Amino acid sequence: MDRRKFIKAGLFTSSALALGNYTNIYPYLASSLSSDYDLVAIKGGEPEVMFDKAIASLGGMKNFVKKNQKVVIKPNIGWDVKPELAANTNPKLVTRIIKHCFDAGAKDVYVFDHTCDNWNRCYSNSGIEKAVKDAGGKIVSGESESYYQQVDVKKGKRLTSSKVHELILESDVFINVPILKHHGGGKITVGMKNLMGVVWDRGYWHRNDLHQCIADFATFKKPDLNIVDAYLVMKRNGPRGVSAEDVITLKSQIISTDIVAADAAAAKLFGIELTDVPYINYADELKVGKKDLNKLNINRIIL
Amino acid sequence: MNATVLKKIRVAVSLLFFLFTISLFLDYRNILPPSVYSKVLFLQFIPSFIKFISIAGLGAIGFIVILLLTLFSGRVYCSSICPLGTLQDIVSFVSRKMKKRKKKRREFLRYEKEKNWWRYSFFALAVIPFLGGTILFINLLDPYSSFGKISAHLFRPLLIMVNNSIAFLFEKMNLYIVYPFEYKGIEVFSFSLALAIFLLVVYLSFTKGRLYCNTVCPVGTLLGLVSRYSFVKIAVDEKSCKSCGICERVCKSNCIDTKKKTVDFDRCVACFNCFDVCPTDGMKFDYGFSSSSKKNQQNREETRVSEREEQVSHSKRNFLFNTLVYAVGLTGITLSQIKITPKKESKVAVFRKNPVTPPGSQSRNNFTQNCTSCHLCVSVCPTQVLQPAYLEYGLLGMFQPRMDFQTGFCNFECKRCGDVCPTSAISPISLEEKKLKQLGKAKFVKDNCIVNTENTDCGACSEHCPTKAVNMVPYKNKLVIPEVKDEFCIGCGACEFACPTKPYKAIYVEGNPKHLTAKINKEKKIEQKVDYKEEFPF
């Protein structure tokens, strides 16, 4: 048995362990399994099914959320459009993530976004407000400057300070749940671009080299977990979209603790060259994470 | 019927109308369904009248109902439907409670002569320029619209302040139950106007009851003239009346003269306070043109004649004044070229030739001719893009709302302003129609654009564009730069609001004086076959 075969076999057994529904037989097993994967990519299932499997292969939510912790989830709720237009994160996925957080013992789970369209309408028409409430989470407004605190971005090149939503600063666990889609200025929007929704003044980023600012901010706060929703993917006219004609059903999901890796994998999934998305390269240079997927231990799951 | 019951009914009805009307303006969270608005405001005289003359229809006959009501039983509108009237009653009520000493209380209200010079001047000020095509003075004098401005610029911010203080306290306890409201609409001129009207109304009602309604208010004057012919009139029963003067001291309109035993029914706002307090059943109703009614009328006529000499001397001045106002109305001083931002940083100064009017307003003309600037749309607009104009519509269009893309942009999925407008300034339209209503067209100013000046990506404008009329097209060095396709643009201002350049925007909306219809940006379904069993591309 050569080394490659050994690794393949290892991958196979571990994914078999992760994929098989052993949690019912040995409930402690999933949580006790600590994972060595840098990134999990999964496709072919419904958002909540894919999340169950993918998070299990990372050792379950218990690896990220401890008892009585305060969790903040940041989906993309930027636009006042219906879920089928894929401009906002899939509400079913949000519900499932919150459920996992509570199962892991989270005390409170907060969800917010600093929206582009009117926030009340975004929250309700995206279906996310209902999804959060149904799951027992708390939906919070991002539409008031009083929620945002001034912070220094020490490693930033262009962005050296920013006003950040207090929930991001105060929570124990930060889970980033972007949706993958086309984006006019950013080329694509995934994990790092989604963090634009936790700051107050986005105009500054646009004025001062958008791509550099996106990478700069990622040096300030790396989410504990990035869950990329690529179930429905807007291929053009992003990030708002014009109609459902812009959307394809990709049925995929990417999970990683490395935001740069997650974005790089999402870019490949989207079908865009990494060189065409400057912020991923800038973030790699700033050592926020690794864009080179060949150097990562990836669990690829096809349902 | 026992007439004292009438007072109780009047108080109940007026409070109901007041609470309903004010809650429309205070509903900054858009909780009330739009259908409530037209029902509550159906009877508001001026808005209904304006609506009627531009689109006659059943929804606009509220003012006719009021005229008929007045012809039947006097100024019921003033006593219980007009929100500004009830506001004055509340102030008077407080005033009476505060005047503890009997003597002071006695002096609070008593019979006063009518102030006809003032009254008809204000009336002419509202009517004559309006005939000349200028609605400004109606906007300044209409009691409903004044109440609207007071609610929108004083009560509403106050409520938001309370809300935000509570939200702040909760936030400190890590509770996010009450959300702070990011209030953007501090418009100095409208605020000052609202405050001025409010102070005037409060002062007059605190000291003189309903003096405002019988001197300043043109609706009061008009309904007063109509009420001369009312079928049912309140009068003094000469046999029973002992001229004790108690009724005089509760008469908000100061229109009962107990010495002469007359009621100046022109000024009576049908509040029934007099019935309530009269110890001798000295108040009565006159029906039709009964003899006592004529007697009352005669007494009144005599007083009028004696007051007339004074009036005549004023008539020339009055005429000149009105001619002047009329002339102003005709010339229509305009000053619509307003700089979008005052500082200097981005190079090219941007001017908007035409202000942008809200969807459903059809055209600038239709809007400015029919809007009474009650600021209800300003109050309910969820994005706060609707703000009172300063001089964008010219001097005579002051305070009428406009789309202010510095404070917000028109939400693609919203048409609330048209649903709530009580006049025909903004007509209700379907959402499908609204999404294609072109209020203006986006103009791209390349010399101000970040992509061109800084050589970095931006795309904020295109990002926010709901129809992708603003599209990013290849530029040098793999950059993309906006391009506007006029035919898809609806003029919602999302691009202008989002554009980060300072002080001048690199993209702005030039208003269409007449709204047009945009084309649907229809693209073919994106073609990409997805094989769910295929390996990942990494």
What is the ipTM for the molecules in this complex? Answer: 0.86
User: Which tokens go with B74?
Assistant: 């006097």
Mean pLDDT, residues B493-520 taken together? 95
Which pLDDT value is given to residue A177? Answer: 98
Q: Percentage of chain B surpassing pLDDT 70? A: 87
Give the model confidence (pLDDT) of B340-396 as tens digits.
Answer: 443 336 778 888 899 999 999 999 999 999 999 999 999 999 999 999 998 899 988
Q: Do B411 and A80 touch (CB under 8 A)?
A: yes
Note whether B265 and B315 are same-domain residues.
yes
Give the model confidence (pLDDT) of B53-67 as tens digits.
Answer: 888 777 789 999 999
Facing residue for B463 by CB, picked from A184, A243, A245: A184
Which pLDDT value is given to residue B341? Answer: 40
Q: Does A25 touch chain B (CB under 8 A)?
A: no
Whether residue B483 contacts residue B504, with contact meaning beta carbons closer than 8 Å, is answered with: no
Which pLDDT value is given to residue B332? Answer: 38
Residues of B in contact with A186 (CB under 8 A): 457, 459
User: Which tokens go with B520?
Assistant: 């649907």
Distance from B191 to chain A by nearest Cα, in Å? 23
Residues of A in contact with B382 (CB under 8 A): 118, 120-121
Mean pLDDT of chain B: 87
pTM for this one?
0.86
Which pLDDT value is given to residue A154? Answer: 95
Which pLDDT value is given to residue A18? Answer: 52
pLDDT category at B95 given cuts 50, 70, 90 is confident
Which pLDDT value is given to residue A42? Answer: 97
Which one of B293, B326, B359 terminates a domain? Answer: B326
Residue, of A135 and B307, whose pLDDT is higher: A135
pLDDT category at B468 given cuts 50, 70, 90 is very high
B522 domain residue, yes or no: no
The rounded distance, in Å, linking the Cα atoms of A178 and A74 is 8
Which pLDDT value is given to residue B330? Answer: 42
Burial B244-254, CB ≥16 within 10 A → b, else e:
eebbbbbbbbb
State the residue range of the domain holding B109: 3-326
B331 domain residue, yes or no: no
Judged against a pLDDT cut of 60, whether residue B525 lies above it is answered with: yes
**Cis peptide, bond prior to residue A27, ω within 30 of zero:** no
Note whether B239 and B388 are same-domain residues.
no
B256 domain residue, yes or no: yes
B525 domain residue, yes or no: no
Which pLDDT value is given to residue B132? Answer: 86
Whether residue A218 contacts residue A232, with contact meaning beta carbons closer than 8 Å, is answered with: no
Mean pLDDT, residues B120-144 taken together? 92
B535 domain residue, yes or no: no
Q: Do A293 and B538 touch (CB under 8 A)?
A: yes
Which pLDDT value is given to residue A9? Answer: 60
Q: Name, of B94-103, B121-130, B273-282, B519-528, the range with top average pLDDT.
A: B121-130
CA atoms within 13 A on the CB side of B23: 13
What CATH number did the domain enclosing B469 receive? 3.30.70.20
Q: Does A82 touch chain B (CB under 8 A)?
A: no
**How many helices (H) does chain A have, and how many strands (E)?**
12, 12
Note whether B46 and B167 are same-domain residues.
yes
Which pLDDT value is given to residue A6? Answer: 58
Nearest CA in chain B to A275: B478
Which pLDDT value is given to residue B99? Answer: 77
Q: Do B536 and A269 touch (CB under 8 A)?
A: yes
Which one of B286, B303, B326 terminates a domain? Answer: B326
- Domain residue spans of chain A: 34-302
Whether residue B420 contacts residue B380, with contact meaning beta carbons closer than 8 Å, is answered with: yes
pLDDT category at B481 given cuts 50, 70, 90 is very high
pLDDT category at B287 given cuts 50, 70, 90 is confident
Q: Which of residues 237-296 of A touch B (CB under 8 A)?
A: 237-240, 242-243, 245-251, 264-265, 268-269, 271, 276, 278, 293
Go through chain A and tell me how many residues it has: 303
Facing residue for B472 by CB, picked from A185, A203, A205: A185
Helix/strand/coil for B59:
helix
Q: Percentage of chain B surpassing pLDDT 90? A: 62
Note whether B253 and B193 are same-domain residues.
yes
Burial class (CB in 10 A: 0-12, 13-18, 19+), A25: exposed
The rounded distance, in Å, linking the Cα atoms of B470 and A195 is 24
Which pLDDT value is given to residue B133? Answer: 85
Which pLDDT value is given to residue B59? Answer: 77
Residues of A in contact with B460 (CB under 8 A): 185, 202-203, 206
B454 domain residue, yes or no: yes
B210 domain residue, yes or no: yes
B523 domain residue, yes or no: no
Note whether B291 and B432 are same-domain residues.
no
CA atoms within 13 A on the CB side of B371: 34
Note whether B389 and B316 are same-domain residues.
no
Note whether B290 and B411 are same-domain residues.
no
**What is the mean pLDDT of each successive set of 10 residues along chain A, which is 303 residues long?**
59 53 44 72 96 96 96 97 97 97 97 96 96 96 93 95 96 98 94 97 94 96 96 95 95 97 97 96 96 95 94
Residues of B in contact with A262 (CB under 8 A): none
Q: Where are the alpha helices (DSSP H) in A221-258?
A: none
Closest CA to B36 of B23, B53, B49: B23
Whether residue B411 contacts residue B383, with contact meaning beta carbons closer than 8 Å, is answered with: yes
User: Which tokens go with A28?
Assistant: 């402690």
Q: Which of residues 109-168 of A touch B (CB under 8 A)?
A: 110, 116-118, 120-121, 125, 138-141, 143-147
The rounded distance, in Å, linking the Cα atoms of B432 and B430 is 5
Mutation target vs A (from B29, B169, B179; most A CBs, 10 A cutoff): B179
Which pLDDT value is given to residue B281? Answer: 86
CATH number of this structure's domain A34-302, picked from the four choices 3.40.50.11440, 3.40.50.740, 1.10.3720.10, 3.40.190.150: 3.40.50.11440
Mean pLDDT, residues B80-94 taken together? 95
Helix/strand/coil for A199:
strand
Note whether B319 and B406 are same-domain residues.
no
Note whether B311 and B390 are same-domain residues.
no
Note whether B269 and B290 are same-domain residues.
yes
Q: How many structural domains compose chain B?
A: 2
Facing residue for A251 by CB, picked from B180, B472, B532: B532
Residue, of B108 and A181, whose pLDDT is higher: A181
Mean pLDDT, residues B268-289 taken together? 87
Note whether B200 and B173 are same-domain residues.
yes
**Cis peptide, bond prior to residue B500, ω within 30 of zero:** no
The rounded distance, in Å, linking the Cα atoms of A303 and A169 is 37
Note whether B140 and B271 are same-domain residues.
yes
